[in-house]
Each structure stands twice: as C-alpha cells, then as structure tokens.
Chains A and B, each alone.
Chain A
C-alpha cells in the first residue's frame, strides 16, 4: 500500500504540477492581461519548464537524465526571479535597476548550470521497491551559491513587503498570499539541496501550492476575473487534456491486461477503438460540462440576458413613449439590483433634458439638464458613462454649478448613462442609490448600457411619431390646435357630451390694420402671443384652436354660461394688458372681441353652435369691439355698413382739418383737394365704394400730424435744413398717433402712414416698396404731390398743371405707382378732374371758413 502510494506520489505530483501549470497558463492566456498577469505568466512558464523537464527526466527520455535535470534546474532558477519581478509589479514598486541586477545574476547562474557546475551528475537508478526508479544526483558549488542568492532575493522581497506594510495601513489585498508563495517556493527549492528529500518531488508540490496562492491573490484583487475566464475554450482545453491523459492511462492498463491474457487482438485495433470511444464521449461530456458552468457561473447573467431579450422584443414595434420608458426603468432597476433611476429626455425646442420618469413613484422631478450642463457637453463628445467619482476627480466636471452637485448628491447619484440615437443625445439615465445604506458599486453597467442603446432607438421612434402626430393637429404658428382638429373635436364633443358645453370664438380686433401698420411679421408675433396667452389662461381641460386667420376657438366643456363668460372676459382683459410685440420692440397692444354660444341651450348641433358663436363675435365687433357677447335670440346677423360715417364722425374730421389749416393757412384747403384727387384716382383704379370712402377720410386726415410740427418749420419760407426736414417727417407718425385715439377712424391708418412712401422704396417712414404700400396711401401720395405742385406754399408759388403732370410722368415708377400716374394723367387730360385755382389765403378767409354757421 505504502509502495503504491509512493509510486503515485512519485509520478503523480510532477504530472499534476505540469497539468496545473498548464491550466494556469491557459487561464492566463485567455484572461484580460495587464502587467501583473504578464509577469505572473513568466513565472508559470518557468514552472512549466521545471515540471516538464522533471517528467522527461523521470521517464529517462532522450537526450538523457543529466540533460533534463539541468533543464529542470534552469526552470527552477527562473522561478525566484520571475516571482520577484511579479512581486514588484504586484505591489506597484517597479524599479528596473534591481530587476535588471537580479536578471543578470540569474543568467549568470544559468551559465554555471549549463557549464555543469550546478549538477555534477544525475542518474535514474532502478530500485526494487516503489517507485522503482529513483533519481540520484550530485550537486556542485553553484547549486549552493544559487540557493544563497535565491535566499537574498527572498529577503529582498520580504523587506519590500515589510516596508510596504509600514507605509500603507491598508496593504494591497492578497499581499500575504504572494509573500507566502515566495516562502513556499524557497522551501521547495531548498529541499533539492538534501538529496534524501530531493529525490522525492517536494519541490513540485510546493511549486503547485505557490501557484495556487498567487492565483488567489490575483483573483482577490480583481486582477483576474475567473468567471469570465471559464469559457468554452478553457473547458474544451481541459477536457481535451483530461480525456487524452485518461485514454492514455486506460489504454496502458488495457494493453497490460491484454498482454497478460495473451490474446490475438491487434494492438492497433485496440488503440483505434479507444480513440473512437474517447471521441464518442467527448461531445456529450463537453455539452454537459458547459451547461454546468453556465448554471454555476452565469445563472444570474442568463436571467438578465433573458430580461433584456424580452424587453427588446416588447419595444420593437412599440410607439408608446410611456410604455417604453416605464419598461426601461423597470429593467434597469432589476439589472442593477434595486437602484433608483431617473430618465431625462431632450426637449427639442429648448434643448433642455427634462425629467421624463423615475423608477420610484412620486420621486423628485424638480431638476433638469440645461444644454450647457457638463453632463450634456460630455455626452455630446463621448459615449462613456459618467461615474459619481468623476465629479470629484475629472477636470471636465470642475465647471459644474454647486446647486447641480448638491442635487446629484441628494439623489445619491452613482452613474449617468447616455441615450443616443443616430449619434445624437436624446436622453440621460441617472442610476442612483436607493438610500445611504445601499451605497455600493453599481453592477452590470454594460447590460444597462445595452438596454439604454436599445431603448434609445425605440424612444427616438416614439418621439418622432408623437411629433408627427402633434404637427398634424397643431397650428405651427401659435402652437394651438389647427382647424382640422377643431372640427373633429367639436363634432366629437357635441355628440358625446351629456352636459352643457360652450364654444367661444375670439377674434383679434382690426388685425388687418395691425398687419398693415406693423407688417406681417409683427402680425405673426401678435398671433403667437395671443395664442400663448389664451393657452396659459385656459388650462388643460379646454381645447384651444386657431379657427381662422385671426380667430381662435375655445371648446369649453362642463361650464355654464356665467362661467364661460367670466373665462372669456378674463382672457380678453389679459390680452388687452399684454404686449404682443417682441422684447426688442416697443410695447404694442391688441384687443379681442369674443362671441360665445352655449350648447345645447342655443344650439342643437356643432354647425349651429359654430354659426351662432360666429354671429355673437360679429356683434361684438360691430358694437365697438373689445368685449364679449353671449349668443341669444336677440343677436342676429346685422348687415351694417361699417365704413359709412355718421354726421358726428364727419364733424370730427372737419374739426381736425380745420385745426391744421388754422396753423398753416397757406395750405388751407389742401386736405380737401387731396381727398378730391385721391378718391378720383381710386375710383379710376376700380376701388369699391367702401375703399373710396376710407381713402376720402384718410386724405382729409393725412396731414393731421402737422399739428405737432413747430410753426417755424411748418411755415418756413426757405429750404428746410436736414434737421428741419427730419422734424417735418415726424408728422406722419404724429398723424397715426392722433388717429389711434379715434377708434372709428382706425381703418384709415394704413393709408395715412404710407402717404410719404415712394414706389421705389425710398420713402418714409417704413421704406415700403411697390404694391406693399397700401392702395389708399399710393392714391394719396400722388394726389398730395400734385396738389403741392399746383398750389402756393410758403416757400414757392404755384406751378402750372402741365408742369405738374410732367413731374408726375417723370417720377412715375419711382415716386408714384405707374398705373395710378397714368390713370391720373388721363383723368386730368379728359377733364374728369377739375383742378381748382389756388391762391394764398388771408387770415380773414380762414376765419370765415372755421366760423360755425
């Protein structure tokens, strides 16, 4: 029994040591390598040389025992050196000078070994007892010298380790294993110095233990991730080695049995059968082992993979944003092990990353990421995650605001993961700890990143869908619903509601005039501001739509007439007080008229409801604007001609013209003559009666602003200086300012404000060009110029009609509308306009006119 055991030890230990070294080397080759692993590989290779040579020696293979013995010693000598290099790398004290020194020393020893000074003689002697062969050797002086040097090397390592422990309170985990392994190697090698012990493979036993210790140290420092090393390739290799060794032993035993039995069975057939058998058992055994490894090492990972696969399948055709984001939060929580997560999605308009959802219900949602936030800037240029520690250590995050850092600290932020679609950052996921007790490393971040990548595409698609849907039903200018949606919604509400509901139409008062005065861009801004104000005042339950150009519609559910009226008035007064110009422009204001109708009290279906609300709106406008009218049976369609002035309004006009005439009596009658010429031109150009009437009013009022011009400028008899001319030009703005206070005459403003514009765009005050100049203004401009030439002025006498027409012809297309100029000349030539003779009036003339009759 003892003999058998001795035989097993004698052969088994070197074999085992060889297999162990080979396995470790395979593991290291397959693992992710760093300097520690690489230096350790050197040590394992030395051990392999050692154990391989030993096996060869014991089997007395060619070229002989002494050769293999010296090879074994060569491997043995490399072990302390490689262990020393590994030790220095492991503790982070890479000093090349001592490493080079010991390398030179070791190579010196190797030379002595090669020259035969280490082992003088070695021989395998057959003995009668187990293990039946025994190594006998004679050592030279170099062996003892080598051992002394190895001892010094070991002491050096010990010294470094002690110094390290002294300097650092927390010694690197596993340092004790490495130091222990060095000791074990030292003892193992020392055993060879005593041939009585050295004939047994004590050194192999010690070497194998040392290798296991170092593996443990690497593993405990996370330098070696064994879980990821146990791969198919490793199983395959180990299985292959195992089966090969097993088959060889089995075959050997079989051969012995058959030799003893003296059968005729061919040995070659036996070998083929054994090989086939090995191949047969290899495949199922491999599959079995692989499944076992999967179960042991990758059970949780498999579960997570399944979760991710299910999630990917679920969101593949999902366009519901909430469902995708909720699913994502849920799976991230499961993967990371109950973390607390937040999702922020990019708002396309502001560029901000707004809170979208969190894994914990009712969690804080009071923070967002501005476009210039360090996280956003980081993710714009990189897809690397941001870890909590980065905020302290990475210089990129030194620019973060204290309040942002405080918020992140409060939510126990640990990792930020980017969500990118087509390389554009669309969202940010924050992974946080649930509470202070759960603060530890967040695991499986690679899988979290995978989830985010997958979800990014789905979220991007869902957002695009949402956007397309939103655009289809939204008015692009005012961001309210469009007319199509309004009609659908109105029909839907009137058909489904069992309660009272109302429709309010809000029309911007004199919006055409506003557009004419300030231009269409300003008009668009006004519409935008009014729409915004209405949306802000109404809230979620009320549907706000842009029904027509300057009319908004409100579908108001579950409110009675009084409530709707109050709401309408609230909106109206708020708009009245809100400037509708941009920040860079002076404040400008508009008013709205509101017409409302209640369903089903005054309308039985959506068409009647719309018609009646419209009637109420028209009534609100007709009766003075900037008010709310409730539709009832009294409100009817009124065919009122709002361009006709009553007697009082005409009196206002004449009073105003008389004022300016009184100030500048030389131009007395100018306004009347301009009115006469301008209306004639308008008529000749095919204008309707309403427009002609407006032009008449505008002509009479066009110079009303001259009231505000100093008499010294107004009545100056010589040429105006540039400064005086600038003062004179102000009369146009002043005219508009005065007329604005007369709501009845607001419609004449476009004609008044544009009467000094030139057709070529070089006029004033707004340098309008061509047909952009209001029609009335072009008529007045021509009439004004004609009268100025043909009448007396402070600075000149009147000129002839021919001269005036000649001037008109000359300036046709530059100052005047060419079509109008032609028409006007034709009218004069045809005698359809009688040009009145003008003269300088005396004060008595003026007084006689202004005197009440």
Chain B
C-alpha cells in the first residue's frame, strides 16, 4: 500500500509509525540499528573493489575494528572510481548517479552512486520530512493526495531533483511548476514560475532554499510585479487575495504571504537556514522544517514536529563525529588521524564535524562530509524525543558557504586575485552576517604597490574589480545579489605586513579562509588598535 492509499484510508497511526517512528527510539536502540547496518555495509563493502581500496584489503569483523582499521576519507580517495562511474567496483549496483559541484577539487563535479535500497530510504526520508513539516503535534499531520507543491530546488542530477521521481508512485502532488517544464528552467525562473502558479492556485507545501524563500517573500510583501493572470486564479485564491488586499488597505499594513496562503508544510534547506527560519515563520505563519542532506550522505537529518533541532535518521548512514579540538589538530597536521565519537558519546553544546559511512551499498566509508554541527541536547523537553538534537552550523572552516548558494574556497579567492592583477600582498577571508542575518564574505587584504605604480587603494573600487572575477569564476556568485539581494563581498584593507607580523608573533600561519576568530581579533587590534573595523 502506498502513501496515497494510506492517507485515503486515514491510517495516520501507521503512517506516523512507518515514517516518523524513528523519533521514538532511545539512543541505545538507535545505536543498535546503526551498528547492525554498518556490519551489513562492511560485508558488502569488503567484497567490492572500492571497499578493498578504501579498507586496504582488510575485512573488519566488528564496528570497532572498522573504525580502527579504516582511515578517514575525503572525495579524493574515491575520485578515480566514482568519476569514471566504474559500477563494477561498487558495493551495490547504482540506479542513479547524483552530482554536485566539487569546489577546489580536481574535477568540476563530484558524483555519488545511489543503490536501489538507498533510493528507497531517501524516499522514506522525504516523506518523513513532508509529514513532519505539516505536523505540530506528535502523531498528527495535515496531508492529503493532490496537494499543491512548490518545489524550488535544483533538478536532477542534483539530489533535490530526485524528489519528484521517488515520490511519483507514493504521494501524488501537483508540482509547481510541473516537473518536466521546471527541469527546462533555470533556478531563478523555476522559483518565480512556481510561486506564480502557487499564487493563482494556492499552495499547500513549499520546499526550497531558505535564503531564496526569504527573498521571494520579501518581494511579495513589497508588492513586486507579478506575471499572474487574474483569469487563472481559482475563486478561492481570488477571494483570499481580495480579502488580504482589503485588510491591507484598511489597516495600512503590507500583505504577507500568510494572509493569502494556507500552507500546510514548509521544508527548507541551506547553510544559513538557522538565520532565516524566524523570518520565514513571520512571513508565512508556519514554522519551517529544516532538513539536512547532501549528495554523499543523502537526506540524513530532519527536525521533529517542534522544529527545534535536527535529528539524524538511523538507517541512512553510520554517523561519527570529530570534536573541534581534534579537527584543529588535524588542520595543523594533516597526517594526524582524528579521533571520532559515535552518537551515543557526544557532549551537549559541543561542536563536531560529521563523518559518515553510507549504508545499503553506498560508496562512502568514514567520509568527512565537511559540515559542522552543534550537539544541542540529549532530550528536548518540548518534543520528548530521546535522541540528540543538532544545529547545523556551517561548512568546515576552509569553505565559505553563502546561503547554500555557492561555496568559496582559498583556491577560488587566489584565482580571483590572480586574475584581477591587483597588488594584493597577503589576505584572509571570513564569513560574516549583516544586520539582517544575511551572510557575506569579508576579504581582508594587504596591498603592496610597486614604487612606480600608485595602484588602487580604495576598498569599494577593489571590491568592484574583484567581483568581476568572482562572477566570472563562480556562476552562482552573480545570483547572490540578483536572487537573494545579498551584497556578498566587503573589503577590509590592512596595513602592509600586519598578517606577517602577527604570524611571526604566534609562530604559525593562520588559515586563509575563516581563520580562528581570536586570530582575527588580534590582527584587527594590531592593524587598528581595536578588535573589529569597518570596511
């Protein structure tokens, strides 16, 4: 019986149990599932060429042996097999290959194979997201077949594009825009078209990038031009719009999306979701559900009905966590093997880098995804879930992820500086947030003009020049302003030699991207005699 059938039969208890039952697990039960599935994966992995390569030809007999024998990995370790789509070398035959950009990698994109069982688990996770998004109380949710669904995410071969395919036989929804047409559109156009259709026919579910949702909401509130045709409006939506407009006129307040749309569920993803959630709730009148996923791990973290922290799914990946102390030790000495902890060993309020081993014939073993989480609480009082709740913090330090839109690395910035021909002697970059909690890059530079060339030393001009090349190198960079209204770059000019002087004091080099906060404070003090400075 599929999801639609179960909905029609009002089997709410069964639906909840099947898709959201993991929220009732204790930590011990969660770990039992994890350990059992890891043993299955080890068994599959050891028989494959990829597994032999990653595990050094060993066949661990227990979870402990596996964690002891297999080193931590990154995509470089898999590239030769996965980029050539060598299916014979994999632990299970893939049914689909998912793609994502590989920032700073040796190829433009990373590929990840998905086995049949992984796709099934991904489908169940998606349905769990939709159920929980429409839920405000344990065991209760508000879904029915034929709902209007604005899918604002990227199409295949990206992971988000797999959603319509996995739901097709389970949950019948009207996609805005329809999947076929949407796949032909660009990201911006797809969102606009989807929103237009939603405006005309009503919206029940919304799945999108939180930063984009906020921008679209703001444009709606500002009363931006819409291509909607009144003739296409359903009477219900027409009535709602008329009511909202009247109310707006009478009370001299803007029309919020919540005045028009009666949204049942809101699913949002993206690096800076935590900063956008409140706004989304304010605009739409519904708490958005944050999920965490990625090409390599698939969808692994979902919030409960209270929407107060991510909870990991037990049957998608085996989770290990690197504490920050170990992470920094490894950053200084790349040969250092970080010690990892399992979900039942975590400390509250600590930050961890996530390490995953995919289940069900997945390709990745002890893989550093590159994301940092904060372990918030063992038991959240509001939902009673006994599993740790997590807050997604950011990508690992060497990467600046802007609103889930683009990822800037040291290599990107070096390339930009090189192309710009600016006389930048030294630099570091860090991720900051503006007053409206929108993320941007603060690039701190030292200039070193040759004696016969006065050069440019105006921060605004330098910024404009660098942005030309940022837009040239990173296609998504230019959408940041256009789609999200974000000013993605600010420049801080440091006196020549500040960074070197500081480094000679502390006797080691600071990171180029997102250096330690204390280092930044000290450098600013050294440069301007205070902790922070205006650009």
Contacts and interface: CB of A to CB of B under 8 A. Distances in A.
A589 interface: no
Given A168-B9, A399-B314, A400-B36, A392 B144 contact: no
A392 B1 CA distance: 11
Contacts of B117: 402
B8 interface: yes
Kindly state the interface size class of chain B when it binds its partner.
20 to 34
Interface string B87-123: 0000000000000000000000000000001000000
Nearest to A168: B8
B22 to A, nearest CB: 5
A389 B36 CA distance: 20
Interface in B12-70: 14, 17-18, 21-22, 24-25, 29, 32-37, 39-40
A842 interface: no
A34 to B, nearest CB: 13
Interface in A400-419: 400-403
Contact of A402 (B21, B34, B39, B360): B360
B36 A399 contact: yes
A396 B341 CA distance: 23
Secondary structure type dominating chain B contacts: helix
A393 B22 contact: no
B144 A167 contact: yes
A395 interface: yes
B14 A395 contact: no
B21 A395 contact: yes
A295 interface: no
B162 to A, nearest CB: 20
Contacts of A263: none
B8 A170 contact: yes
A168 B21 CA distance: 24
Interface in A786-822: none
A169 interface: yes
A114 B151 CA distance: 60
A623 interface: no
Among A170, A374, A400, A401, which residue has the most Cβ atoms of chain B within 10 A? A401
Contacts of B482: none
B40 A394 contact: no
B315 interface: yes
Interface string A167-182: 1111010000000000
The winner among A169, A399, A402, A403 for most chain B CB atoms within 10 A is: A399
A167 B25 CA distance: 33
B403 to A, nearest CB: 33
Contacts of A394: 17, 21
A168 B10 contact: yes
Given A372-B36, A398-B314, A92 B21 contact: no
B9 A399 contact: no
Interface in B226-240: none
Contacts of A393: 14, 17-18, 21
A393 B360 CA distance: 18
A377 interface: yes
Nearest to A390: B17
Interface string A41-69: 00000000000000000000000000000
B304 to A, nearest CB: 14
Contact of B36 (A170, A172, A401): A401
A395 to B, nearest CB: 4
Given A395-B314, A399-B32, A170 B9 contact: yes
B33 A398 contact: yes
Given A167-B144, A395-B22, A398-B315, A92 B32 contact: no
A776 B17 CA distance: 74
Interface string B312-324: 0011000000000
A169 B9 CA distance: 8
A13 to B, nearest CB: 38
A401 B25 CA distance: 18
Contacts of A395: 17, 21-22, 24-25, 29, 33, 314
A399 B36 CA distance: 6
Given A168-B8, A170-B8, A393-B17, A399 B33 contact: yes
Interface in A371-389: 372, 374, 377, 389
A395 B21 CA distance: 5
Nearest to A374: B36
A398 B40 contact: no
A839 B519 CA distance: 77
Contacts of A400: 36
A141 to B, nearest CB: 38
B140 to A, nearest CB: 11
A392 B36 contact: no
A637 to B, nearest CB: 52
A766 B2 CA distance: 69
Contacts of B314: 395, 398-399
Contacts of A170: 8-9
A170 B6 CA distance: 10
A399 B28 CA distance: 12
B480 to A, nearest CB: 39
Given A168-B9, A168-B10, A402 B40 contact: yes
Given A394-B17, A396-B29, A92 B36 contact: no
B357 to A, nearest CB: 14
A411 B10 CA distance: 30
B51 to A, nearest CB: 16
A395 B316 CA distance: 13
A392 B2 CA distance: 12
Contacts of B25: 395-396
A399 B21 contact: no
A733 B24 CA distance: 61
A572 B451 CA distance: 92
Interface in A760-803: none
Contacts of B144: 167
B496 to A, nearest CB: 57
Of the candidates A168, A172, A392, A395, the one having the most CB atoms from chain B within 10 angstroms of its own CB is A395
A583 to B, nearest CB: 12
Given A399-B33, A399-B315, A402-B117, A392 B10 contact: no
Contacts of B33: 395-396, 398-399
B34 to A, nearest CB: 7
B169 to A, nearest CB: 15
A393 B6 CA distance: 12
A403 B360 CA distance: 11
* Residue among A169, A389, A394, A398 facing the most chain B CB atoms (10 A cut-off): A398
A401 B9 contact: no
B38 to A, nearest CB: 9
B22 A398 contact: yes
Contact of A377 (B8, B21, B32): B32
Interface string A11-33: 00000000000000000000000
A172 to B, nearest CB: 8
A396 B23 CA distance: 11
Interface in B149-166: none
Contacts of B32: 372, 377, 399
B34 A399 contact: yes
Interface in B217-233: none
Nearest to A172: B10
A421 B347 CA distance: 41
Contacts of A92: 10
Contacts of B14: 389, 393
10 contacts: A167-B8, A372-B32, A374-B36, A393-B14, A394-B21, A395-B21, A398-B314, A399-B33, A399-B315, A402-B117
Given A395-B25, A399-B33, A402-B117, 19 more contacts: A167-B8, A167-B144, A168-B9, A372-B36, A372-B39, A377-B32, A392-B18, A393-B21, A396-B25, A396-B29, A398-B22, A398-B33, A398-B37, A398-B314, A399-B34, A399-B314, A400-B36, A401-B40, A402-B360
Q: Which 9 A-B pairs have the closest CB atoms?
A: A399-B33, A395-B21, A399-B36, A393-B18, A398-B315, A401-B40, A395-B22, A393-B17, A168-B8
